[in-house]
Amino acid sequence: MRDHDPALPPHRSGRGFHNPPGSPRARGSTADWLRFLRDVSFGPRALRQPALPAGHVLDAEQACAQLAAQHGRDSLTWLGHACFLIRIDGRAVLTDPYLSPYAGPLPGLGPKRFAGTGLPIDRLPKLDAILLSHNHYDHLDAVALRQLAADHRDTTFVVPLGLVPIIRRLGFRNVHELDWGQTHAGNGLTVTALPAVHFSSRTPFDRNRTLWCGFGLRSAHHHLYFAGDTGWGPVFEHVGQRFGPFDVGLVPIGAYQPRALMQAVHADPEEAVRIGRAMQAQRLVAMHWGTIALTTEPAFEPPGRFLQAAQASGYGDDDRWVMRIGETRALDRR
């Protein structure tokens, strides 16, 4: 029976959804949380809006030219944070489209992006699917989704349980919600919702009322893993055995300090590599970093740690990617 499947453990109770058994828990005190909120909201500008290294974000013309040079071939384009344009087998898929300047309930309210998207939203190709991992503002971006709905309202939209109403209100018609382990198939793509270690909320009053997840994305020649927003947990060892292997794993490497507070919801770079290994991903691509300051680690610390950890775990140079925002790289068919 499903409740006895270690890859898909029970994750719903009368109080809402919860993480798999064995997942880490936050260890900080109330004083720790108040100090953290002060630092990320009112800390030095160097934390909230750091200086960008040269080349971190491609300008629009460079980004558009790189994408056009692929001529529709299989490729991956990073638009910052957890947003990717994935082109596989003639299909175009967008993940977690946080593409507006702020991550908050109203324009101008909430953390502000310090890096742009590279590829403008109005230069995206026709989309065959949009995948949304959970409802946090830096993933479910209502401003960007309303803009996308103008040209992509009939695009297949896949979400975890509980998010159909908000996505339909934002203008999309073809919305499908999945529980962990459930699959939606169509137009040459198969999307499976996979467990993640995180939480959900958009207000102080709706915590964990909707589900969070990662996704497996399969086409004729590819099998990709998109982790969404997640911490490390032993559930990944079971999920990788059940649903892997994957050609490519898109794993979150940022937003991990202070560790006592963040370990329950965000992987650090070493744990991101551990997740990729557990999911049997042959190539790892770093995401969820270098775009917006959500926590207190230096903004450009994560990629160095990720590359070092991936190398120590046996990933060669061609199989551990740190991309520039707006950059497009070709995906080989494995």
**What is the per-residue pLDDT for 126?**
97
The pLDDT of residue 266 is above 60: yes
The pLDDT of residue 2 is above 70: no
Compute the mean pLDDT over every residue in the chain, rounded to the nearest whole number. 96
Of 35-39, 187-191, 224-228, minimum mean pLDDT range = 35-39
Residue 1 placed within a domain:
no
What stretch of H or E contains 277?
Answer: helix 269-278
Q: What is the mean pLDDT of residues 280-299?
A: 97
The pLDDT of residue 309 is above 80: yes
Residue 4 placed within a domain:
no
d(CA 170, CA 214): 22
Q: What is the mean pLDDT of residues 45-73?
A: 96
Residue 11 placed within a domain:
no
d(CA 83, CA 79): 5
**What is the per-residue pLDDT for 110?**
87
d(CA 121, CA 143): 11
**What is the per-residue pLDDT for 170?**
98
**What is the per-residue pLDDT for 43?**
84
Q: Classify 251 as helix, strand or coil.
A: strand
Neighbours of 53 (CB within 10 A): 11
Residue reference for tokens 């800390």: 43
The pLDDT of residue 3 is above 60: no
Residue 311 placed within a domain:
yes
pLDDT digit string, tens, across residues 68-93: 999 999 999 999 999 999 999 999 99
d(CA 33, CA 141): 25
Residue 149 placed within a domain:
yes
Dig out the tokens for 69 from the structure.
Answer: 């040079």
Q: How confident is the model at residue 1 (pLDDT cuts 50, 70, 90)?
A: very low
Q: What is the mean pLDDT of residues 2-13?
A: 82
Q: What is the mean pLDDT of residues 18-38?
A: 92
Q: How confident is the model at residue 212 (pLDDT cuts 50, 70, 90)?
A: very high
- Listing DSSP states for 60-117 in one string gives HHHHHHHHHHTTT-SEEEE-STT-EEEEETTEEEEES---SSB-SSSTT-S-BBSS--
Q: How confident is the model at residue 13 (pLDDT cuts 50, 70, 90)?
A: confident
Query: Structural domain of residue 283, as residue ranges?
Result: 57-330
For residue 44, cis peptide bond before it (omega within 30 degrees of 0): no
- Listing DSSP states for 236-262 in one string gives HHHHHHHH--EEEEEEE-----SHHHH
pLDDT digit string, tens, across residues 93-146: 999 999 999 999 987 888 999 999 999 999 999 999 999 999 999 999 999 999
Residue reference for tokens 């940022």: 254
Q: Classify 131 as helix, strand or coil.
A: strand
Torsion of CA 28, 29, 34, 37, to 10 degrees: 10
CATH of the domain at 72: 3.60.15.10
**What is the per-residue pLDDT for 42?**
84
Residue 286 placed within a domain:
yes
Going from the C-alpha of 134 to that of each of 27, 178, 258, the distances in angstroms are 23, 12, 22
Q: How many domains does the chain have?
A: 1
**What is the per-residue pLDDT for 18?**
97
